[in-house]
């Protein structure tokens, strides 16, 4: 088993997260309620990019009045800001929430033109946090990076953009663990090569290949509908996987021995509804959207 990367902590103990995910709502830093009746809970994480959570609860749940924009929801592993809420009174009688991982807060702060700082990854990012006035975030670096100079050019940028540009400058990747605090983890590569292969007839339900010849180089990706065996009694240690991991695809028509997971749609309610996208990851320092390219 090859392992040179950083292992994210967002989907640990997945067998425990089946139809009983506790959703805790926080308001002004205080827990105001918890529900075990969440449904249609979807967690969508992209490698170094977007990370969202959506869920529904019955309107009769005690936390329902607190499912409002500006409050925070904790699923037992990560924290998300509630961004949009839809209440259905008389139809499904449910409240639907769309949330964004707290790392999205970095997009609410800016760095001015002319900002410049010299140092290693930790020194520069900590200075960015201090300069922009962002509370509660910190960073940890496992790369042993040397010293470089980071400078903002002719236009202001958000701190989220700065984070992506900083990672590109040092040639590293990052993940975040915010179970108890908001820590950006810089690493040489997110994920591992644990020899996991998705195989038709075992845990691979459907594989779709897509290419875009209008992109340069040609953009290619595979979307896999999977049965997440690591969340079932049939799961083995070799079935574990996460965003950033290098995995394989084995079907009668498609055989790809080594490719990275760049997006993971994780259904808390049903491990048979999980979906991943694999491809060659292209870090775009100016964007927060996953880009794909041919291998």
Contacts of 76 (CB under 8 A, 6+ apart): 17, 21, 22, 24
Task: Residue 189: name the closest of 175, 173, 177, 176 by CA.
Answer: 173
Place of tokens 């100016």: 286
Confidence of residue 177 (pLDDT cuts 50, 70, 90): confident
- At residue 236, the pLDDT reads 55
Q: What is the pTM of this model?
A: 0.83
For 29-33, 41-45, 65-69, 176-180, which range has the lowest pLDDT when averaged over its residues? 176-180
Whole-angstrom distance, CA of residue 290 vs CA of residue 280: 10
104-131: per-residue pLDDT in tens? 999 999 999 999 999 999 999 999 999 9
Q: What is the mean pLDDT of the chain?
A: 84
129-174: per-residue pLDDT in tens? 999 999 989 999 999 889 999 999 999 999 999 999 999 999 999 9
Q: Which CATH architecture has domain 106-187?
A: 3-Layer(bab) Sandwich (3.55)
Cβ–Cβ < 8 Å for 110, 129: no
Q: What residues does each domain of the chain span?
A: 14-102, 106-187, 193-293
| Exposed / middle / buried, residue 28 (Cβ in 10 Å: 0-12, 13-18, 19+) | exposed
Other beta carbons within 10 Å of 128: 23
Other beta carbons within 10 Å of 180: 7
For residue 15, pLDDT beyond 50 = no
């Amino acid at each position: 088993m090859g392992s040179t990367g950083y292992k994210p902590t967002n989907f640990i103990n997945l067998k425990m997260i089946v139809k009983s995910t506790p959703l805790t709502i926080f308001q002004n830093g205080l827990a105001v309620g918890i529900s075990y009746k969440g449904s249609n809970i979807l967690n969508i994480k992209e490698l170094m990019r977007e990370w969202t959570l959506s869920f529904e609860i019955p309107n009769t749940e005690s936390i329902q009045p607190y499912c409002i924009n500006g409050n925070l929801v904790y699923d037992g592993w990560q924290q998300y800001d509630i961004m949009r809420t839809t209440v259905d009174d008389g139809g499904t009688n449910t409240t639907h929430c769309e949330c964004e991982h707290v790392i999205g807060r970095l997009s609410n702060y800016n760095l001015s033109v002319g900002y410049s700082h010299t140092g290693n990854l930790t020194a520069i990012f900590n200075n960015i946090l201090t300069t922009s006035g962002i509370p509660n975030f910190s960073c940890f670096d496992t790369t042993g990076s040397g010293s470089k100079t980071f400078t903002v050019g002719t236009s202001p940028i958000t701190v989220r953009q700065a984070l992506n540009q900083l990672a590109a400058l040092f040639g590293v990747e990052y993940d975040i663990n915010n179970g108890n605090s908001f820590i950006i983890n810089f690493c040489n590569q997110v994920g591992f090569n644990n020899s996991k292969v998705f195989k038709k007839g075992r845990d691979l339900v459907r594989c779709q290949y897509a290419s875009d010849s209008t992109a340069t180089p040609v953009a290619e990706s595979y979307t896999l509908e999977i049965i997440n065996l690591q969340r079932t009694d049939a799961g083995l240690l070799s079935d574990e996987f996460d965003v950033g991991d290098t995995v394989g695809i084995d079907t009668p028509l498609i055989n790809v021995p080594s490719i990275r997971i760049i997006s993971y749609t994780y259904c808390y309610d049903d491990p048979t509804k999980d979906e991943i996208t694999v491809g060659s990851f292209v870090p775009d320092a100016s964007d927060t959207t996953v880009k794909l390219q041919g291998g």
